[in-house]
Amino acid sequence: MNAQTDILQTAKHFQKELGEEYHDKVVEAIYADAARIADNCVSRDAQKAKLNFDTALDKALTHPIGGFLVMGLMFFIVFWLTISGANIPSQILADLLLDKAYYGLHGIATALSAPDWLSGFLIDGVYLATAWVVAVMLPPMAIFFPLFTLLEDFGYLPRVAFNLDKLFARTGAHGKQSLSMMMGFGCNAAGVISTRIIDSPRERLIAIITNNFSICNGRWPTLILIGTIFISSTAPPILASFVAALSVVAIAVLGIVTTLLVSWGLSKTWLKGETSVFSLELPPYRPPQILQTLYTSVIDRTAIVLWRAVQMAAPAGAVIWLISNIYLGDVSIAGYLVNFLNPLGLLLGMNGVILLAYIVAIPANEIVIPTILMLTLTLGSNIVGAQSGVILELENTQVYTVLTQVGGWTLLTAVNLMLFTLLHNPCSTTILTIWNETKNRKWTLIASLLPVALGLIVTFSTATLYRLFM
Amino acid sequence: MTTDIAVDCRTCPAYNAAALKKLGMNVEEADYIIALAGNPNTGKSTVFNALTGLRQHVGNWPGKTVARAEGGLIFNDNQYKLVDLPGTYSLLSTSTDEEIARDFLLFGQPSVTVVVVDATRLERNLNLTLQILEITESVVVALNLIDEAQRHGIEVNERQLSRQLGVPVIPMVARRKQGIPELLQAIEAVAKGDYVTRPHRTRQYDTRLEKALEAMVQTIEQTYPDLPNPRWVALRLLDGDASIEEAIREHRLGDLSRGKSVVPIADTISLEVVS
C-alpha cells in the first residue's frame, strides 16, 4: 500500500468514527473564534446606530408589496428616460452615418471608378449594416447603461434579487438564481457564468437554462425600437413615450414570469430535488460615484457591446448583400429563403423576413432590426426606391412606413416580434458559455432549444387569438 | 522617541507610494504573487484596481467576480502579480466560486494573501479570514470601509485585531485610495519575511475531533514533511473533500511541499462583457 492510499484510508476511518457532526463542529469552532475576536476589537456607538437610514430604506424597498411596486416604477423610469432621450441623438446619427457618410463613400467609389459589385458589397453591404447598428444601438445604450449602472452601484439590484428570492425558492429553484438572473439582464453569457455562485448542480442547471429569459444588451435596442415606433402609435402622441416604455417593461416582466414558470416546470420534472437554504446578504447602500459610473458604463459597457455588435454586423451585412444579389434564375437566394420561411412566419404572426433575420442574427441579437429592414427593403416592392440589399437613411416614421407598407406589418407583427425577441435561442456566445459551464451536450441543447420552442408556441397562440377576435 | 527625519523619509508611506508603478495586465516574471481574497462586496476589486491601474468593473453586488482576474504592479523594484479571487463567505462548501478561491490559495501558493475585510461586518468577515489563516500564514488583512463603519458608529481597534490574528492589519478606505501605500508596505514586509506572522489557528474544542486531527496530521507529515498546511489538509480530508483527495491521488500535494506552484484547476476567465 503506498503512502497516498494510506492517507486516504486513515481519513475514511476517522470519518466513520467522527460521524456527520464533524463538519458542523469545525464550522462552529471557527465561528466561535470569529465572534470572540470581533467582540474584543469592535466598539459600537449605540446612538449612531439607531439613526440608521439604510435600515429604513431597506424596509421600504424590500416590502412584500411596496418592494414590487418600487421595482416596476424604477424600471419604468429607466426605460422612459431611455426612450424619450434617445430620439434626437438617433436622428442626428442616422443623418450623419446613413445619409452624409453613405453618399460620401459612394462619391469616393465613383471617383475611383470602382466596379459596381465592389462598391455595392462594401458600402451597401458591410458599411451600411455597421452604420445601422451604430445608429440604432448607440443612443439608447449610452442612456440605458449609465442609469442601470447607477442603480447597481447604489445597491438597488441586490434588493430586487432579495424580493424575487422568495419567489424562486417557491418554484423549487435556488434563491441565488435571482442574482444570476439580474446579471443576465446585462449579458446572458455573463449571467450563465455567474451561476457559479449556486453550489447545487440541480439548481445551477435550472439557473443556466432559464438565464436566456433575462433580456440582454443585444435585445433591449430591438424592444425599445419596436416599442417606440409601433406600440406607441396605439396611444395619443402625449402618452406615446409612456406607452412605449410600458411595453418594454411588460416584456421584461414577462421574462421574469417565464423564468419562474420554467424553473418551476423543470424542478417538477427533469430536475427534481430539494431546495437549498441559503442566506442572501444585502450589501450596504453606497453613494454612487457618478463620474466613475459614467466612465465605466460608457467605456466598459457601451463601447464593448457596440464593438461586438459592429464586429457581427460587418460580416452579416456582407452576407445579406450577397444573398440579396446572387440570383438563381429570377429570384435571389434571400428571396428563396424568405419564401420558404414565409408560411411558418405568417402562421406565427410574423413573416419570413423576421425568421430569416433571426437566423442571420444567431451570432449576435444586436443585428436583428438592421437585418429585417435590409431584407424588407430589398425584397419588397420598390416604392422607397431602394436598390437590392441597400438600407436607406430612415427616421422612425419612415421605418414605420416601410415596415407597414412594404413589409405588410401589423400591430400583431410588432407584438409577436417583441415576444419572439424574449423567447428564442440564446446567441452563439451564450450557447458556447453554457457548453463550457456544463460540458454536457444534452443540457446545452435543451438550454438552446427550449426558449425557441416556447417562442413558437407563444407567438402561434397570440397569432391564432388575434385572427379569431380581431 | 526622537526620529531622524532625513532617514525616515524612506519609510514614509507617501515617499514609497511614488515607488509604485501600475502595470495593468503586463505581468511577466513576477517576483511575488499576491492573492486578493475576501467576502463578496468588501471592495476587493476596488483594491485590485487601485493597485494595478486596471479598471475591472466594480459592482455593489455579490457574485460580481466569479472568476479570477490578474494584474501587476512594481513596488520598490519588485514585480508583483496580483490575483483577484472570487468573493466568498467561506472555503468549506463546494460551489465553483469557492473552489476557485480555495484551489488558488492552496495550489497557486501565493507569496502573500491579502484578505479584504469589511469593517462594518467584522465578525462575518473573520470567519473567512480564520479559514484562510488555516491554509496560509502569509496574510495581510486590509480592513476596508472604515469610513462607512464610522458612519454606522462602529470603531474597530486595528492593533488589537492585528495582535489577535497575528498578521498585519491595515485600515483603509480603498475607494478614496486611503491606506494603499501602507498596504503595499505591509505586503512587501510579509513577502520578504521582514514581518514574521504568527497566524491565529482555531483549536477544536471536541477532544475526539482534535485527537483525530493530530493523528491525521502525523500520517500526512510522514509522506509530506514540508507541507506548509498539514492541519488544514487534514481538516478537509476528514470532511471528505473530493478535490483534496484527488490532489493526493494525483500527487499534486507532493509538488506543493517542494514549494512548487501548481497550476490552479480553474482557468482565468476575464469577463469581457460584464452586465
The per-residue pLDDT for range A90-131, each reduced to its tens digit, is 788 888 888 888 889 989 998 998 888 888 888 888 888 888
Residue A283 within a domain: yes
Strands B139-144 and B169-171, how do they pair?
A: parallel
For residues B235 and B153, membership in a common domain is answered with no
Q: Does the beta carbon of A3 lie under 8 angstroms from any beta carbon of chain B? A: yes
Average pLDDT over all residues of chain B: 78
A390, pLDDT greater than 90: no
3-class SS of residue A22: helix
Q: How confident is the model at residue B114 (pLDDT cuts 50, 70, 90)?
A: very high
For residues B166 and B249, membership in a common domain is answered with no
Q: Does the beta carbon of B235 lie under 8 angstroms from any beta carbon of chain A? A: yes
CA B83 to chain centroid, in Å, comes to 9
What residue of A is the nearest CA neighbor of B253?
A4
Say if CB A395 and CB A94 are below 8 A apart: yes
Number of domains in chain A: 1
Q: Give the count of beta carbons closer than 10 Å to the beta carbon of residue A348.
A: 26
Q: How confident is the model at residue B274 (pLDDT cuts 50, 70, 90)?
A: very low
Residue A301 within a domain: yes
Q: What is the pLDDT of residues A401-446, one digit of tens each?
A: 777 777 788 889 999 999 999 999 888 878 888 988 888 899 999 9
Q: Smallest CA–CA separation between B185 and chain A, in Å?
A: 23
Residue B264 within a domain: no
* Cβ-defined contact of B153 to A47 (cutoff 8 Å): yes
Note the pLDDT of residue B50: 87
Q: What is the mean pLDDT of residues A187-212?
A: 85
For residues B126 and B249, membership in a common domain is answered with no
Integer angstrom CA distances of residue B69 from A171, A193, A452: 34, 14, 34
For residues B53 and B128, membership in a common domain is answered with yes
CA A205 to chain centroid, in Å, comes to 19
CB contacts < 8 A (A, B): 209
Q: What is the mean pLDDT of residues A384-393?
A: 46
> Which ipTM was obtained for this model?
0.81
Domain that holds residue B116: 5-192
Number of domains in chain B: 2
- Residues of chain A with pLDDT > 70, as a percent, come to 91
Residue A424 within a domain: yes
Residue B270 within a domain: no
What residues 154-173 of chain B have any CB closer than 8 A to a CB of chain A? Answer: 154-158, 160-161, 164-165
Higher per-residue confidence, A286 vs B201 = B201
Residue A48 within a domain: no
Higher per-residue confidence, A136 vs A109 = A109
For residues B25 and B78, membership in a common domain is answered with yes
Count the alpha carbons within 13 Å of A343 in the hemisphere toward its beta carbon: 2
For residues B186 and B240, membership in a common domain is answered with no
Integer angstrom CA distances of residue B57 from B44, B47, B83: 11, 12, 15
What residues 295-314 of chain A have any CB closer than 8 A to a CB of chain B? Answer: 295-296, 299-301, 304-305, 308
Residue B243 within a domain: yes
Say if CB B167 and CB B140 are below 8 A apart: yes
Say if CB B107 and CB B84 are below 8 A apart: no
Among the listed residues A412, A377, A418, the one whose alpha carbon sits nearest the alpha carbon of residue A398: A377
Residue B175 within a domain: yes
Q: What Rg, from alpha-carbon coordinates, does chain B have?
A: 19
- Alpha-helical (H) ranges within A53-155 are 53-61, 66-94, 101-111, 116-119, 128-154
For residues B115 and B219, membership in a common domain is answered with no
For residues B53 and B134, membership in a common domain is answered with yes
- Alpha-helical (H) ranges within A348-427 are 352-360, 368-379, 396-401, 411-422
What residues 190-229 of chain B have any CB closer than 8 A to a CB of chain A? Answer: 200, 202-206, 208-209, 212, 215-216, 219-220, 222-223
Q: Does the beta carbon of A37 lie under 8 angstroms from any beta carbon of chain B? A: yes
Higher per-residue confidence, A18 vs B173 = B173
Q: Using CB atoms within 10 Å of the CB of residue B4, give its burial: 0 to 12 exposed, 13 to 18 middle, 19+ buried.
A: exposed
The CATH number of the domain holding residue B125 is 3.40.50.300
The one-letter amino acid code at B6 reads A
Q: Which residues contact B74 (CB under 8 A, 6 or more apart)?
A: B20, B21, B23, B80
Tell me the β-bridge partners of B73.
B22, B80
What residue of B is the nearest CA neighbor of A31?
B127
* Cβ-defined contact of B204 to A33 (cutoff 8 Å): no
Residue B272 within a domain: no
Q: What is the mean pLDDT of residues B141-164?
A: 91
Residue A37 within a domain: no
Integer angstrom CA distances of residue A470 from A243, A244, A251, A404, A410: 21, 22, 22, 18, 12
Q: What is the pLDDT of residues A300-336, one digit of tens each?
A: 667 776 787 788 788 888 888 888 888 888 888 888 8
Residue B229 within a domain: yes
Domain that holds residue A340: 66-469
* Cβ-defined contact of A34 to B55 (cutoff 8 Å): no
For residues B102 and B159, membership in a common domain is answered with yes
For residues B109 and B188, membership in a common domain is answered with yes
Residue B197 within a domain: no
For residues B182 and B217, membership in a common domain is answered with no
Sign of CA dihedral B156, B159, B161, B167: positive
Which of A2-11, A443-452, B266-275 comes out lowest in average pLDDT? Answer: B266-275
The one-letter amino acid code at A353 reads V
Of B60, B203, B248, the CB nearest to A153: B60
Residue B265 within a domain: no
Q: How confident is the model at residue B255 (pLDDT cuts 50, 70, 90)?
A: low
What residues 39-68 of chain B have any CB closer than 8 A to a CB of chain A? Answer: 40-41, 55, 57-63, 66-67
The owner of cell 449576435 is A364
Note the pLDDT of residue A469: 84
The owner of cell 429592414 is A373
Say if CB A155 and CB B60 are below 8 A apart: yes
Higher per-residue confidence, A92 vs A209 = A209
For residues B158 and B241, membership in a common domain is answered with no
Say if CB A187 and CB A162 are below 8 A apart: no
